[in-house]
């Protein structure tokens, strides 16, 4: 990942402006290690294998590997019992143990966690770090009263965990089958029931780290894009996904799918190695520095435009701004050769406080350059809180 992206993510973490979106592909040690060969595997996959075993014992052929499809087949099997109750017992089993990734992620200062997991293992990992997580769930079959508002006092020591796919302690809330997944999407899109208004407020102006989604699966791609658009993620976010062994063309198509219409950057990296490096950088940078003031985004992006002859002045300004904790950008670092200027600048600074810093008198004496026109054009479409600041 480029250095500028590391800086942006670190500044979000240090100011409490980074949230976690946790998917089900997080390896754990399940209660029955025989189900997973004695190695860490995701609870979703172990549960899928459990359902497959039940179907095969009943002489039912199972051709699918995705849990939603297996659960759909199981729910339609005449000899099955209520799948919600089975899932409730399985994911609520206290003998499951947190995985390594749970432990590593719990160390970071996330004030809000969105999860599509059904279990409480990440909450346990947070408690092991001395934190006091607060649980809230979305009940896609419920009434508005079943989907209460979230607290206003967001704190990294008492983070909010919001269970999008329901929770094991309310079996009817669980999104398990293919039909459930479709009904969930319909409920979210139609707002019947709607997600809490306070959730939208909490997520505003935050960077998000997506971990454990397995976004190479088509249904996860659609689900993630739905959530990104519905929850109005306006600040650039990152999704960790290892594409090892995946066809390069399929990889490129997946990355492009997320880039179109969203600000989610897919990082082809090993999750464990990424988190190790992130923690090392976070620790070196001084760790958590305090929450941003309510209603005021802490991360203020500053794009520095300059003439080539003024490069040293621009570089000096850039270094001073980054030392002060400001998210600063130089065009040579921010825009790659061959990239389209307008779209890159406008997309990056959309829906955020924006400053265009120019410290060189030479620039005022010349006609506006491409990036200046792009920035000014983008400014016209930004919110009223945005600003353009020429500096002499």
The rounded distance, in Å, linking the Cα atoms of 8 and 171 is: 39
Q: What is the rounded CA–CA span in Å between residue 348 and residue 235?
A: 8
Banded model confidence at residue 367, pLDDT cuts 50, 70, 90 = very low
**Is residue 131 in a domain?**
yes
Same domain, 226 and 325: no
Q: Does residue 236 share a domain with residue 157?
A: yes
3-class SS letters over 203-216: HCCCEEEEECCCCC
311 Cβ neighbours under 8 A, 6+ residues apart: none
pLDDT score for 33: 47
In this structure, are 332 and 370 located in the same domain? yes
Burial of 302 (0-12, 13-18, 19+ CB in 10 A): buried
Indicate whether 206 and 347 sit together in one domain.
Answer: no
What are the pLDDT digits (tens) for 200-239? 888 877 889 999 887 666 677 777 778 877 877 766 788 8
CB distance 304 to 317 below 8 Å: yes
Are 224 and 308 contained in the same domain?
no
Mean pLDDT along residues 37-58: 86
Pair 102, 238 in one domain = yes
For the chain, how long is the longest CA-to-CA vector? 81
Position 56 pLDDT exceeds 90 = yes
Percent of the chain at pLDDT > 90 equals: 40
DSSP string, 265-297: EEE-S-HHHHHHHHHHHHHHTTS---PPPTTS-
User: pLDDT: is 371 or 153 the higher one?
Assistant: 153
Q: Which of residues 250, 284, 318 is at a domain's end?
A: 284
Domain span holding position 268: 3-28+95-284
Q: Among 224, 253, 284, where does a domain finish? A: 284
Q: Looking at 235-249, 325-339, 364-378, which range is the least confident one?
A: 364-378
Number of domains the chain is built from: 2
User: Rounded to an integer, what distance in angstroms lies between the CA atom of residue 185 and that of residue 189?
Assistant: 6
Please indicate, yes or no, whether residues 314 and 255 belong to a single structural domain of this protein: no
Phi-psi region of 71 (alpha: psi -120 to 50; beta: other; left: phi over 0): alpha
Find the helix or strand (DSSP H, E) in which 157 lies. Answer: none
Given a contact cutoff of 8 angstroms between Cβ atoms, the answer to whether 274 and 240 are in contact is yes
Residue 331 lies in a domain: yes
Residues 17 and 139 in one domain: yes
In a domain, 387, yes or no: no
Q: Is position 267 within any domain?
A: yes
Same domain as 342, residue 193: no
Domain boundary, last residue among 251, 284, 317: 284
Note whether residue 390 is domain-resident.
no
How much is the mean pLDDT over the chain?
79
- In this structure, what CATH number is given to the domain that contains residue 187? 3.40.50
Four-point Cα dihedral 282, 116, 39, 268, nearest 10: -50
Domain assignment present for residue 150? The answer is: yes
Q: Look at 106-120, 154-168, 231-245, 291-305 and tell me which has the smallest mean pLDDT.
A: 291-305
**Statement to judge: residues 262 and 325 lie in one domain:** no
On whether both 226 and 258 belong to a single domain, the answer is yes
- Residue 241 confidence class, pLDDT cut points 50, 70, 90: confident
263 & 157 share domain: yes
- Give the ranges where the chain is alpha helix by DSSP (H): 3-14, 43-57, 67-76, 83-91, 100-106, 121-128, 178-190, 197-203, 218-230, 248-259, 271-284, 311-323, 331-334, 341-348, 361-364, 370-381
Among the listed residues 40, 50, 137, 174, the one whose alpha carbon sits nearest the alpha carbon of residue 98: 40
Q: Which of 37-46, 153-162, 177-186 has the lowest mean pLDDT?
A: 37-46
Instruction: Please state, as a whole number, how many other Cβ atoms lie within 10 Å of the Cβ of residue 69.
Output: 17
- Is 130 part of any domain? yes
354 vs 139, which has greater pLDDT?
139
In the predicted structure, residue 382 carries a pLDDT above the cut 50: no
d(CA 135, CA 113): 10
Domain of 306, CATH number, reads: 3.40.50.10140
Examine the pLDDT at 146 and tell me if it is beyond 90. Answer: no
The answer to whether residue 65 is domain-embedded is no
Who's near 83: CB < 8 A, 6+ residues apart?
51, 71, 74, 75, 176, 177
């Amino acid at each position: 990942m480029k250095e500028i992206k590391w800086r942006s993510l670190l500044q979000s973490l240090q100011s409490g402006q980074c949230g976690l979106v946790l998917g089900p592909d997080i390896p754990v040690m399940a209660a029955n290690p025989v189900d997973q060969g004695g190695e860490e595997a995701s609870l979703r996959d172990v549960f899928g294998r459990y359902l497959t075993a039940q179907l095969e014992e009943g002489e039912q052929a199972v051709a699918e590997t995705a849990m939603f499809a297996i659960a759909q087949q199981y729910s339609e099997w005449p000899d099955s019992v209520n799948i919600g109750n089975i899932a409730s017992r399985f994911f609520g089993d206290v003998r499951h143990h947190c995985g390594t990734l749970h432990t590593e992620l719990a160390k970071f200062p996330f004030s809000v966690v969105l999860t599509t997991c059904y279990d409480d293992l990440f909450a346990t990992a947070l408690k092991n770090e001395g934190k006091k997580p607060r649980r809230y769930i979305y009940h896609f079959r419920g009434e508005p009263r079943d989907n209460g508002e979230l607290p206003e006092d967001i704190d990294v020591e008492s983070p909010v965990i919001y269970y999008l796919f329901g929770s094991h302690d309310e079996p009817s809330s669980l999104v398990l089958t293919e039909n459930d997944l479709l009904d969930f999407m319909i409920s979210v899109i139609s707002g019947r029931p709607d997600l809490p208004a306070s959730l939208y407020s909490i997520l505003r102006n935050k960077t998000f780290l997506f971990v454990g989604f397995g976004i190479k699966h088509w249904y996860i791609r659609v689900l993630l894009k739905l959530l990104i658009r519905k929850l109005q993620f306006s600040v650039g976010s990152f999704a960790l996904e290892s594409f090892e062994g995946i066809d390069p063309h399929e990889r490129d198509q997946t990355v492009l799918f997320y880039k179109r219409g969203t600000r989610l950057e897919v990082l082809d990296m090993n999750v464990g190695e990424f988190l190790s490096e992130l923690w090392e950088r976070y620790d070196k940078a001084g760790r958590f520095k305090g929450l941003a003031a309510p209603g005021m985004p802490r991360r203020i992006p500053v794009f520095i435009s300059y003439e080539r002859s003024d490069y040293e002045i621009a570089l000096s300004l850039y270094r001073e701004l980054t030392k002060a904790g400001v998210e600063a950008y130089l065009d040579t670092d921010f825009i790659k050769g061959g990239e389209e200027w307008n779209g890159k600048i406008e997309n990056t600074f959309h829906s955020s406080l924006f400053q265009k810093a120019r410290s060189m008198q030479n620039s005022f004496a010349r006609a506006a350059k491409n990036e200046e026109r792009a920035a000014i054009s983008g400014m016209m479409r930004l919110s009223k809180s945005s600003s353009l600041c020429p500096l002499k």
